[in-house]
Amino acid sequence: MTTKKYRIEVGIPTVTALLLREAGASEPSGDPQHKKVGDISLESIIKVTLMVKPKLTAKTLKSAIKTILGTARSIGLTVNGKDPKDVIKEVESGQYDDLIAKYEAEWQRS
């Protein structure tokens, strides 16, 4: 008698799927420059960044956040009511360093 073995692995959803869920949007924008599908907080961006860390090649939390902000922009989301491109500049300028520092330990652990 032969026994078949199966192995089921639950993977991490795509960045797009996680961002859309956080924003409460059903699908990405077909025209992200002109048609926005939702707004998301920077804290939600950080949460998604931490969830998908195994998929990312970024060395630092800050650079990973900028990657996820780029994805948000490409699917038609705004972040804190702003274009994610502007939020990337604000992240680079250090405007959110205090918020990012709150999650730094979790980034290091995972």
Domain boundaries of the chain, sorted by first residue: 15-109
Quote the pLDDT of residue 10. Answer: 81
Residue the block writes with tokens 């089921």:
8
Positive/negative CA dihedral, 87, 19, 63, 34: negative
User: Residue-wise pLDDT tens for the chain (110 aa)?
Assistant: 677 888 888 888 999 999 999 999 999 999 999 999 999 999 999 999 999 999 999 999 999 999 999 999 999 999 999 999 999 999 999 999 999 999 999 999 87
Quote the pLDDT of residue 4. Answer: 85
52-76 CB burial, b ≥16 within 10 A, e <16? beeeeeeeebbebbbbbbebbbebb
Q: Are 12 and 54 in contact (CB under 8 A)?
A: yes
Q: Which CATH architecture has domain 15-109?
A: Orthogonal Bundle (1.10)
Close Cβ partners of 53 (under 8 Å, ≥ 6 residues apart): 64, 107, 110
Quote the pLDDT of residue 6. Answer: 84
Quote the pLDDT of residue 12. Answer: 85
Quote the pLDDT of residue 11. Answer: 84
Quote the pLDDT of residue 108. Answer: 92
